[in-house]
């Protein structure tokens, strides 16, 4: 087979993730090249990136500084083992990250994905309580419709049924808060929804059920992304923080999507003024260019574990590729690009136009709710009777054919363009969507 055949007929040797593999092979969609706001297909068709790849390419594609840093690093130091030895740039990068992190989150543990950043945070929470003599705090609390990656811990605290149901008993000692999605009261809200802070009281109920002395941590996405862009009701995160504080429970924010400027502030914790004890990040940390995850920990958590004999490993956890030199190089260049271009706050400047433009689609057929924050948008469509997800999937396929990349989850369209998007491109994106929505069955 020559390269041309291979390129046009993708082989099923590659078992594709979160993909309908057999349907894909009947009508493959391929991306061959990317620059700034666009992808190009192998045939050379331009696709406007309305999803920042998969919520990660915040500075736009193939930014020269990031490309050059990765290339130079590959020739300088391709790999360095991360256990009991280090490479200088990893320490510099951690310092740079801590400089922009929410107050008090002063320590960074590197991994290779959001899923691993989550496992790291959950394990840190358990180890922290044990180190302080509270090993009885073993329970982890997540939330319905939460997405925390695909490893066993993250799936256990996660709340998306399709990601859970095939995989047995998952972790024991896990419970869930109810989700906060309440379109009957909050549909088409501008800004944070007015109703639903009381859902935080579910944590009080779980404390009454299990006793706080058995609960290690609560993990939530400040804005739930994968499940369809669910915004926190006004006062909700503050209330969760207060209940955690009153009962010695750690609060973990999963900022894999919300981190690095997506909402208009460096992190959701900054935007909402609620600082967690642990914060998970990935995706935008390297602009998607090299896989990396990072878990930020509070000073108190770090210090609680920096005890015992000095020559003993404090946390038996880490990855072969923790702080991989290529990821560190990409991350440092990404941070510099974000800072040079003001991207950690640009979404805040664009947010009013973004919100106006997306809410302008309210009159389109099937649209039952529109939610925006920063440069994130969710457009919820009514499901076809008996066929949940079918309308969303068709919208995704039609958008791709029309030159626009979107994400869909069920019948919710999720939008999260690179933070470099122009006003004209926002208008273009909305025009394509309007076209699709008005012709969709
Ligand atoms: N936490 C959150 C909040 C995420 O959004 C992960 C953890 C896991 O990250 P990794 O790097 O292990 O994939 C994510 C990932 C979607 C979609 O359709 C979103 C993600 C992954 C796959 C699909 O929106 N987010």
- What pLDDT, in 10s, does the model give residues 380-401? 999 999 999 999 999 999 999 9
The reported pLDDT for the residue numbered 9 is: 77
Q: Which region among 7-11, 275-279, 382-386, 432-436 has the lowest average model confidence (pLDDT)?
A: 7-11
CB 140, CB 214: distance < 8 Å: no
Half-sphere exposure of 18 (CA within 13 A, CB side): 10
Sequence-distant (6+) residues with CB within 8 A of 298 are 104, 105, 106, 107, 277, 278
Tell me: pLDDT of 1 over 80.
Answer: no
Instruction: Render pLDDT for 306-359 as a digit per residue (tens, 0 to 9).
Output: 999 999 999 999 999 999 999 999 999 999 999 999 999 999 999 999 999 999
Percent of the chain surpassing pLDDT 90: 98
DSSP category for residue 214: G
**Residues framing ligand 1 (Cβ under 6 A):** 54-55, 113-115, 118, 147-149, 221, 225-226, 254, 256-257, 282, 407, 409, 414
The reported pLDDT for the residue numbered 158 is: 98
Ligand 1 nearest atom to the CA of residue 151, by list position: 12
Tell me: pLDDT of 5 over 60.
Answer: no
Q: What are phi and psi of 393, to 5 degrees?
A: -60, -40
The reported pLDDT for the residue numbered 8 is: 58
Question: What's the fold here for domain 31-59+342-439?
Answer: 3.90.1150
Ligand 1 nearest atom to the CA of residue 293, by list position: 11
Ligand 1 nearest atom to the CA of residue 254, by list position: 3
Domains of the chain: which residue ranges?
31-59+342-439, 67-340
What would the mean pLDDT of 37-51 be, rounded to a whole number? 98
Length in residues, the chain: 441
Distance 167 CA to ligand 1 centre (A): 18
Q: pLDDT band at residue 3, thresholds of 50, 70 and 90? A: very low
Tell me: pLDDT of 6 over 80.
Answer: no
Tell me: pLDDT of 4 over 80.
Answer: no
Distance 116 CA to ligand 1 centre (A): 11
Average pLDDT, the chain: 97
What would the mean pLDDT of 283-302 be, rounded to a whole number? 98
CA-CA-CA-CA torsion sign (340, 268, 291, 162):
negative
Tell me: pLDDT of 192 over 80.
Answer: yes
Distance 295 CA to ligand 1 centre (A): 15
Q: pTM of this prediction?
A: 0.97
Nearest alpha carbon to residue 59 among 283, 369, 221, 309: 283
What would the mean pLDDT of 226-231 be, rounded to a whole number? 97
Query: Does domain 67-340 correspond to CATH entry 3.40.50.2000?
Result: no
> Kind of pairing, strands 278-281 and 250-254?
parallel
């Amino acid at each position: 087979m020559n390269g041309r055949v291979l390129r046009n007929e993708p082989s099923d040797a590659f078992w594709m993730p979160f993909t309908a593999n057999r349907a894909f092979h009947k009508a493959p969609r391929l991306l061959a090249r990317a620059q700034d706001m666009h992808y190009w297909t192998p045939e050379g068709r331009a696709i406007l990136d309305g999803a920042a790849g998969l919520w990660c390419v915040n500075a736009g594609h193939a930014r020269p500084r990031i490309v050059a840093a990765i290339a130079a690093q590959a020739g300088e130091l391709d790999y360095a083992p991360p256990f009991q030895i280090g490479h200088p740039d990893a320490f510099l990068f951690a310092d740079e990250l801590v400089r922009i992190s929410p107050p008090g989150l002063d320590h960074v543990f590197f991994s290779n994905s959001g899923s691993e950043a989550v496992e790291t945070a959950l394990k840190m929470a358990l180890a922290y309580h044990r180190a302080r003599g509270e090993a009885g705090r073993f329970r982890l609390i997540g939330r319905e419709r939460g997405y925390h990656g695909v490893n066993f811990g993250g799936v256990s605290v996660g709340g998306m049924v399709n990601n859970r149901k095939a995989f047995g008993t998952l972790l024991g000692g896990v419970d869930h808060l109810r989700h906060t999605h309440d379109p009957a009261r909050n549909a088409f809200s501008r800004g944070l929804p007015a109703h639903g802070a009381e859902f935080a009281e579910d944590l009080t109920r779980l404390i009454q059920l299990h006793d706080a002395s058995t609960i290690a941590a609560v993990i939530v996405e400040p804005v739930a992304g994968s499940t369809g862009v669910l915004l926190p009701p006004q006062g909700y995160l503050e209330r969760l923080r207060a209940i955690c504080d009153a009962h010695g429970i750690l609060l973990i924010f999963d900022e894999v999507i919300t981190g690095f400027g997506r909402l208009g502030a460096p992190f959701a914790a900054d935007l909402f003024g609620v600082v967690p004890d642990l914060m998970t990040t990935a995706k935008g940390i390297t602009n998607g260019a090299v896989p990396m995850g990072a878990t930020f920990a509070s000073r108190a958590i770090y210090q609680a574990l920096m005890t015992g004999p000095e020559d003993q490993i404090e946390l038996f956890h880490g990855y072969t590729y923790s702080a991989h030199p290529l990821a560190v190089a990409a991350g440092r260049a990404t941070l510099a690009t974000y800072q040079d271009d003001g991207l950690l706050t640009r979404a805040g400047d664009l947010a009013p136009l973004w919100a106006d433009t997306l809410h302008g689609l309210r009159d389109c057929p099937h649209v039952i709710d529109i939610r925006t924050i920063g440069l994130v948008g969710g457009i919820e469509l009514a499901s076809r009777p008996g066929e949940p997800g079918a309308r969303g999937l068709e919208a995704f396929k039609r958008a791709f054919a029309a030159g626009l990349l979107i994400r869909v989850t069920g019948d919710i369209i999720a939008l999260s363009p690179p933070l470099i998007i122009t006003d004209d491109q926002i208008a273009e994106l909305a025009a394509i969507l309007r076209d699709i929505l008005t012709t969709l069955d």
